[in-house]
């Protein structure tokens, strides 16, 4: 008898569902295809039903429903981070608590109520393990080094793995608040684009600029021995705010942020300044990713590399 597993990603951005039969993808879809709401983050009820319909089965035939991360562990990170910065983090904590106490903490209940899953079917994967699996198991490689890089999962922001016939073995990780993805998103916000949407615009804007501010960007995102990195938290605010990702010291370093929607000509004036900043952060990101890839190669001895996570969408860096 075939074994079915339903994978679910939701409540952040671009929620989706995927159905596997004996480890092979049968159907997959984002929820926005059915809701017609771009980047819909709601629980993918219709996408899940569609996946089941494609296989001609019901939820009762599914062996496991796997959620892409561990909500309780993620909430733990948010609580620890914001309590550490108390009382300055109180406004952020109030906003975060409202979001989590109304939605994200009750994923288990929602999966049962809205998808019709049984509690015994539910499993929760670690965020970066989900990324690593999406890269390695869909690759043509029997053995590969795996690099997952994004904003943040539960605690990890970057993870190094080795994949082989035995599965995925974690090698090392970088933990919050140090993050390549959140750094790039902070510059996305500074340059007047929407976070989790406009990062590709920063990558494109970089092609019009010159990396004149690499030394400044490296104050924000420092390389460390062994191919790692760390953020100087004086320049960032994502660990203590839900509305600001960079600090006043960041603005002193780079100048006034661009206001969203204002005209931007990267060939002259203020627009050229912003293009140069974009070029600089792109260069530093690429150097940090190369250092991580070189470390993975040294640790595993493998030439094949799989990448996943939001930062892995930076195609310019991938070409390096």
Q: Which residues contact residue 62 at a Cβ distance below 8 angstroms, ignoring those fewer than 6 apart?
A: 4, 5, 6, 19, 52, 117, 121
The pLDDT of residue 1 is 80
Whole-number Å distance between alpha carbons of 130 and 65: 13
Residues 161 and 168 sit within 8 Å (Cβ to Cβ) = yes
Residues 158 and 292 sit within 8 Å (Cβ to Cβ) = yes
CA distances from 274 to 27, 127, 269 (A): 42, 33, 9
CA 112 to chain CA centroid, Å, is: 26
For residue 306, report the phi and psi dihedrals to the nearest 5 degrees: -110, 140
The pLDDT of residue 114 is 94
DSSP secondary structure code for residue 144 in this structure: E
User: From first to last of its 320 residues, what are the pLDDT tens digits of the chain?
Assistant: 889 999 999 998 899 999 999 999 999 999 999 999 999 999 999 999 999 999 999 999 999 999 999 999 998 888 887 777 667 667 777 777 777 777 788 899 999 999 999 999 999 999 999 999 999 999 999 999 999 999 999 999 999 999 999 999 999 999 999 999 999 999 999 999 999 999 999 999 999 999 999 999 999 999 999 899 999 999 999 988 777 899 999 999 999 999 999 999 999 999 999 999 999 999 999 999 999 999 999 999 999 999 999 999 999 999 98
Q: Which residues contact residue 156 at a Cβ distance below 8 angstroms, ignoring those fewer than 6 apart?
A: 126, 127, 128, 173, 174, 175, 176
The pLDDT of residue 100 is 75
Q: Is 140 exposed, middle or buried (0-12, 13-18, 19+ CB in 10 A)?
A: exposed
Strand, helix or coil for residue 222: strand
The pLDDT of residue 82 is 76
């Amino acid at each position: 008898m075939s074994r079915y597993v339903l994978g679910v990603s939701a409540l952040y951005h671009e929620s989706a569902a995927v159905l596997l039969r004996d480890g092979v993808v049968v159907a997959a879809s984002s929820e926005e295809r059915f809701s017609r709401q771009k980047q819909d983050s709601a629980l993918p009820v219709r996408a899940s039903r569609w996946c089941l319909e494609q296989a001609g089965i019901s939820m009762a035939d599914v062996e496991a429903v796997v959620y892409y991360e561990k909500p309780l562990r993620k909430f733990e990170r948010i609580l620890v981070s914001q309590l550490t910065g108390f009382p300055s983090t109180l406004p952020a904590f109030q906003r975060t608590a409202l979001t989590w106490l109304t939605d994200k903490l009750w994923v288990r209940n929602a999966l049962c109520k809205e998808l019709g899953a049984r509690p015994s079917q539910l499993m929760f994967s670690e965020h970066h393990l989900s990324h690593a699996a999406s890269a390695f198991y869909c690759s043509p490689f029997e053995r590969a080094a795996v690099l997952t890089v994004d904003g943040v999962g539960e605690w990890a922001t970057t993870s190094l793995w080795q994949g082989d016939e035995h599965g995925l073995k974690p090698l090392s990780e970088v933990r919050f608040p140090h993050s390549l993805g959140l750094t790039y998103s902070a510059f996305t916000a500074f340059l007047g684009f929407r976070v989790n949407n406009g990062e590709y615009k920063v990558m494109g804007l970089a092609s019009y600029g010159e990396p004149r501010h690499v030394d400044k960007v490296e104050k924000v995102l420092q390389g460390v021995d062994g191919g790692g990195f760390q953020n100087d938290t004086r320049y960032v605010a994502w660990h203590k705010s839900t509305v600001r990702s960079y600090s006043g010291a960041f603005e002193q370093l780079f100048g006034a942020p661009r206001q969203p929607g204002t005209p931007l000509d990267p060939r002259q004036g203020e627009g050229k300044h912003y293009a140069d900043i974009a070029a600089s952060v792109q260069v530093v990101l690429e150097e940090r990713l190369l250092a991580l890839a070189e470390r993975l190669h040294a640790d595993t001895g493998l030439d094949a590399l799989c990448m996943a996570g939001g930062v892995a969408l930076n195609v310019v860096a991938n070409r390096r």
